[in-house]
Amino acid sequence: MQAFSRPLARIAPRNLSRAAALSTWSAVPAGPPDPILGVTEAFKADKDPRKINLGVGAYRDENATNPDKEYLPITGLPEFTKAAVKLAYGEDSIPLQHNAIAVTQSISGTGALRIGGAFLARFYPNTKTIYLPNPSWGNHTPIFRDSGLEVKQYRYYDKTTVGLDFAGLKEDLKNMPEQSIVLLHACAHNPTGVDPTPEQWIEISDIIQEKKLFPFFDMAYQGFASGSTTHDAFAVRHFVKAGHQIALAQSFAKNMGLYGERVGAFSLTTADPEEKARVESQLKIVVRPMYSNPPLHGARIASTVLGNHKLYKEWHGEVENMANRIISMRHRLHDNLVAQGTPGEWKHITSQIGMFSFTGLTQPQTKVLADKAHIYMTSDGRISMAGLNSHNIDYFSESVSKAVKGLL
């Protein structure tokens, strides 16, 4: 880590401009400021005490109230986006230290993916094909298709081992046309709960580099896989260290329990602050006609927690507790299924990580569980482990065992 904490001044300007020439985003033009919200930006930047903002239509009485509920900037609450980027990339990340990460707040993880898809469809200078792991979160395909990208798949999950099809994954990466976009689940892969090991991530990073593919990380569960936000950011941080330019979608739904507040961020690493400014100007032009500017309340909560040492520690402890509770439910479920003599191999319940378990239950079994036992899960056999607790785990295990034995 130490090696990457070099201050900006020590990086030779020559290297920065070389990076800019090689950058994926070197041809993105600076966009004009928004005719209305751009006025607020100019107002905020003005330091004169006599300043008055008559640009945006926001009612004010004789005395300004604080904190207000006025519109956020198009790219969101700056304290929040700063904290979000730090959480994902790590404090000592080179592009972060160089002020070279373009970022916008988003409508949670989904919105981040959608902004990313739209930005890539407009500005990615190469083939507009994005490869998703098979399987992936069900909403990935429509998000990217509706963004204007072509969606294809790469091998990921091996049914026979109930694990990662690493050989298939590598072969598919090697066979992709150069410069294709690859979607990677940063941690706690949904729906399988199967992640590459750190060593496998390093290999994946090498192949992606060789093939000049563009990695787009979806990090919807930072902290949920291992209980450590640092550990779960391994892949993202390794790729950045290895010199990749990346796109990143972050969600604070799960790790902060802010589901309905819709708190997220989309970021891109760029070559330097000048390129970052150009890219951000274009992110604004993507966002403004979609939803104008993001919701305020959840971002305020997240930035308060992330920006305060005591609250941060307390929150991180809670993330750890959530991850550990899920892990303990995995053990209880596994032990119950085995104790009840349930046919089949159930080790994957404990080896998978994150929010979900891909149980291996068949579609008819999931149907009979809903119809006869009132137990609901997606038809691919995915269960949210977090929905299990000490009150319902025994009923659930018995019902699954009966369903597998054909006794329900």
Residues that bind ligand PLA (CB under 6 A): 108-110, 137, 139, 185, 190, 218, 220, 251, 253, 259, 264
Q: Name 264's bridge partners.
A: 106, 251
CA 244, CA 213: separation in Å to the nearest integer?
9
Whole-angstrom CA distances from 337 to 100, 122, 130 are: 50, 50, 39
CA 184, CA 41: separation in Å to the nearest integer?
34
DSSP 3-state percent helix, strand, coil across the chain (nearest 5): 45, 15, 40
Shortest reach from residue 94's CB to ligand PLA, in Å: 26
Shortest reach from residue 4's CB to ligand PLA, in Å: 28
State which residue, 28 or 263, has the beta carbon closest to ligand PLA: 263
Distance of CA 134 to the CA centre of its chain: 18
CA 253, CA 250: separation in Å to the nearest integer?
9
Of 218, 276, 315, 346, the catalytic one is 218
Report residue 104 as tokens: 């916008």
CA 107, CA 74: separation in Å to the nearest integer?
12
Measured CA angle at 223 (ends 219, 226), to 5 deg: 115
State which residue, 28 or 184, has the beta carbon closest to ligand PLA: 184
Shortest reach from residue 243's CB to ligand PLA, in Å: 26
Contact in structure between 254 and 288 (CB atoms under 8 Å): no
Lookup result for tokens 């004169």: 48
Does the active-site annotation cover 315? no
Shortest reach from residue 372's CB to ligand PLA, in Å: 24
**In sequence order, what are the residues at sequence separation of 6 or more whose Cβ sits closer than 8 angstroms to the Cβ of residue 66?**
none
Shortest reach from residue 137's CB to ligand PLA, in Å: 4
CA 239, CA 205: separation in Å to the nearest integer?
6
Shortest reach from residue 111's CB to ligand PLA, in Å: 7
Of 254, 276, 284, 402, the catalytic one is 254
CA 110, CA 129: separation in Å to the nearest integer?
19
State which residue, 279 or 377, has the beta carbon closest to ligand PLA: 377
Shortest reach from residue 216's CB to ligand PLA, in Å: 12
State which residue, 123 or 224, has the beta carbon closest to ligand PLA: 224
| CA pseudo-torsion sign 177, 120, 257, 240 | positive
Of 137, 201, 315, 346, the catalytic one is 137
State which residue, 19 or 225, has the beta carbon closest to ligand PLA: 225
Residues found in the chain: 408
State which residue, 109 or 117, has the beta carbon closest to ligand PLA: 109
Report residue 324 as tokens: 């550990």
State which residue, 222 or 336, has the beta carbon closest to ligand PLA: 222
Shortest reach from residue 253's CB to ligand PLA, in Å: 4
H-run or E-run covering 207: helix 198-210
State which residue, 250 or 270, has the beta carbon closest to ligand PLA: 250
CA 114, CA 249: separation in Å to the nearest integer?
9
**Pairing, β 356-358 against β 382-384:** antiparallel
Report residue 51 as tokens: 């300043």
Does the active-site annotation cover 158? no
DSSP code of 35? T
Catalytic residues: 137, 218, 254
